[in-house]
Amino acid sequence: MTMIKKRENWLRACFHYDLVPTEWEQIGKVMKIYTSRGIFALKETKLDAKQEKMIRNIHQMAMHFMIDTVPLIPTKYGDFITSIDGIKYLLTPWIADSSSLSFEMKMEGLISQISRLHVKTIQDRELNETKIELYKEKLIKEYEFHEQFASKAEQHVYLSPFEQLYLQNFASIMSSYERLFTYLESMKQENNQDDEHEKKMVVRQAICHNKPTFNHLITQRERQFLINFEHADYDIFTFELANILMQLNHSKIDRQTLHKGLTLYLSICPLNLKEKELLVMILQCQRRYYALVKKYKEASGPSRELHFTQQWIKEALFYDCLTGACKGFQPKEEKKES
């Protein structure tokens, strides 16, 4: 689509909202629109029917104060989503992130908002094996990458410092993947054990944001909002919690901070024993090394070895924090049962 066509579509979308822009500024897929009625954010996106339904559900929840998100503004025709040439547009008030928070406060804010989203939307739903399979496919891709990298490294007469460090930890990395494979397979088997009676395992699921990052958390006047719900869907919410914890910046995290974040989540959205088991299995899988090794493979230059060796050590410390935080969050009576 040409820039002229894009601008034409922006103007057509504004017409649907009775907005006359006096000035505008494009920020990614969002157009910041200045009008006599105020400043608005007009977002361009692609949504299927299921996503549109979820967007409307999220808006209704916001209207009933179930979650904190920026409310959608209806068009002059009463709809919350307008479509132009197959592209969808959503309009909200422009809310700028006006607070400079510390890493720990951002982490607590994100975990607090996500846990509230989860706890208020929990439902017992049939286990969707397709989602488990998609998750496993990602794991298998990473597992095979590790195998290939290790195989090539072992062929070198002289190993680099990074390769030495990698091969020393290779068995531990691979076994962590294998344990998670086994656990996910056991979930599938449990789901299929009553197939002859056409029963499926029912698990607790909730609406998951599916892109829970600090970029999608806005703080203004001591109030926080989650934004960008285009990919939200019902899922096993333990995966989303694990995703948040796994993506935390290892240079600003320690065991105490991680444990604090976990405790905060559990105080708002308690997990049952099965969910805790799954969380521990995911967090103990050493997946973050995949991205690090991939970057090492693509990098070059004289400082490569020093840089990536230092990064490896930081990742190892991060995993130590993760495993340490996991050990302390289960009640003693549940530990005995497991």
- Residue spans per domain, the chain: 3-93, 103-337
State the average pLDDT for the chain. Answer: 90
Residue 152: what pLDDT?
Answer: 96
Q: What is the structure's pLDDT at 335?
A: 47
Contacts of 95 (CB under 8 A, 6+ apart): 41, 70, 218, 220, 225
pLDDT of res. 315: 92
Sequence-distant (≥ 6) Cβ neighbours of residue 80 within 8 angstroms: 55, 56, 59, 72, 73, 74, 90
Residue in 140, 213, 207 with CA at minimum distance from that of residue 180: 140
Tell me what pLDDT residue 194 has.
Answer: 55
Half-sphere exposure of 253 (CA within 13 A, CB side): 27
Question: 103-337 has which fold?
Answer: Aminoglycoside 3'-phosphotransferase; Chain: A, domain 2 (3.90.1200)
Of all residues in the chain, the percent with pLDDT exceeding 70 is 93
* Number of other residues whose CB lies within 10 A of the CB of residue 169: 16
pTM of the model: 0.89
Tens-digit pLDDT profile for residues 132-147: 999 999 999 999 999 9
Architecture of domain 3-93: 2-Layer Sandwich (3.30)
DSSP class per residue in 150-174: HHHHHT-SS--HHHHHHHHHHHHHH
**In this predicted structure, what is the pLDDT of residue 192?**
67
Query: Per-residue pLDDT tens for 289-331?
Result: 999 999 999 999 999 999 999 999 999 999 988 888 877 665 4
Low-confidence ranges of the chain (pLDDT < 50): 331, 334-338
